[in-house]
Amino acid sequence: MRVEKAQIFPVMMFLKMASPLHLVFLFMISGALGNEWSVTYSETKLCALNGSTVFMNVTYTHPTRLTVTNRFWLINSFQGKEPTDLRNESGYSDRVEYLGDEQKHFPLRLSDVKKSDEQKYWFRIITNEAKERYQGEPGVTLTVTDLQVIAPAEVTEGQSVVLICKTTCSLTDPTFIWYKNRRDLTTNTPKSNELHLQPVSSEDAGSYSCAVRGYEHLPSPDQTLRVRYPPKRVSVSISSSGEIVEGSSVTLTCSSDANPPVENYTWFRVNESSPVGSGQSYGALQSGQYYCEAQNQHGSERSAAVSVTLNRVQSLGVYAGVGAVVFVCVCLIITFLFIRSRRQKKKADEGDYQNIGPSAKDDTYAALDLAGRTSDDVYHTLANSHPSPPADTPTSSD
């Protein structure tokens, strides 16, 4: 009550002291204000993210002599057509909410905004008198945007690149969030719609997307950034089956990381100027240190040298196998020579027997030549030619 008296007392004093002309002017202003229609939109152009929630705020006044019976938002306002409450429009009923209060505020909350919601929205007042209705102009124009990352498809390492989170309209004070391969980059980058990569490295290659703070569940589609770079991390691996011995081949394989892939692999032996081979794999036949050089259209890089040692000492198994083969071969040769020698000797013996026949006859004839020999010589010759039969073996009688 004290507050009301404190407010009334200055007014009464002003009325007592004011001249009649001032009073007339004061009553004219108060009457005009009391009979005035007004609708004020906080923003007449709104930009909303596709899938987000948007608020359209409005305040209004109306003549005091009228009583407001209905308030609503509408679209598709046509002359001669009875306006339809937005809540009754197809596709809006479950997404529209009015947040009106007694202070002549009547905001509209529209959720899950779609591209089809790009319309002009008006606020309308219905009163107790049929002819006293008011629709506020100019209304609110809603534009719906998606997010899109604008980036070059390919860049070369060392260049500068700017990625842009693009919208088709200007969002109200947005904070942009950047992602690489679905991981948040915001802690390392400015919270703007531009992402600067200066200079670009091979590690910057990947899929990028952006979102708006508060609507992280509505990110842009991924945009792949490919980075071209020369071979890196070139290395040589050794592969062999079993013991590495002299005369066998040791396979060396060259590996690297490059974009585009390596076009040429060249193999070198340390302290030799000329290459010893080409291709991603190389078979080393000699002991030594080897390295490879990988090259694509953006440059080349050499690997560290690896040592290849071919052992001269053979394993026992190898020696045993070789010895067995040699032994068998020697035995076969000796056997062949022995058989051949026996055959030759047999043939020689047969030839000697045939030659003995005539000479023996000649000797007998000479021995029987009585003209030149004595009687004792003839007897001795005959005795040798015809030996006496063996004597009968005596047998014991029963």
- Residue-wise pLDDT for 69-127, tens only, equals 999 999 987 776 789 999 999 999 899 999 987 778 999 999 999 999 999 999 999 99
Span 305-334, average pLDDT:
74
Answer yes or no: same fold for 38-145 and 229-308.
Answer: yes
Beta-ladder partners of 253: 237, 281
Average pLDDT, the chain: 80
- Give the max Cα distance, the chain: 215
255 or 348, higher pLDDT: 255
247 or 310, higher pLDDT: 310
Domain covering 148-221: architecture:
Sandwich (2.60)
Residue 279's pLDDT is what?
95
Q: Where are the domains of the chain?
A: 38-145, 148-221, 229-308
Give the strand pairing for 264-269 and 288-296.
antiparallel
Question: Tell me, which fold does domain 229-308 have in CATH?
Answer: Immunoglobulin-like (2.60.40)
In order of 197, 335, 336, the CA distances from 329 in angstroms are: 76, 10, 11
User: With contact defined as beta carbons under 8 Å apart, do 254 and 265 qualify?
Assistant: yes
pLDDT > 70: percent of the chain: 72
Span 290-298, average pLDDT:
95
Residue 106's pLDDT is what?
95
In three-state form (DSSP H/G/I as H, E/B as E, the rest C), the secondary structure along 183-233 is: EECHHHCCCCCEEEECCCCHHHCEEEEEEECCECCCCCCCEEEEEEEEEEE
Span 1-20, average pLDDT:
36
Rounded to whole angstroms, the Cα distance separating 387 from 245 reads: 78
Question: Tell me, which fold does domain 38-145 have in CATH?
Answer: Immunoglobulin-like (2.60.40)
**pLDDT band at residue 317 using 50, 70 and 90 as cut-offs:** low
Residue 10's pLDDT is what?
37
- Residue-wise pLDDT for 161-213, tens only, equals 999 999 999 998 899 999 999 999 876 666 789 999 989 999 999 999 999 99
Q: Which residues contact 282 (CB under 8 A, 6 or more apart)?
A: 251, 252, 254, 267, 276, 290, 292
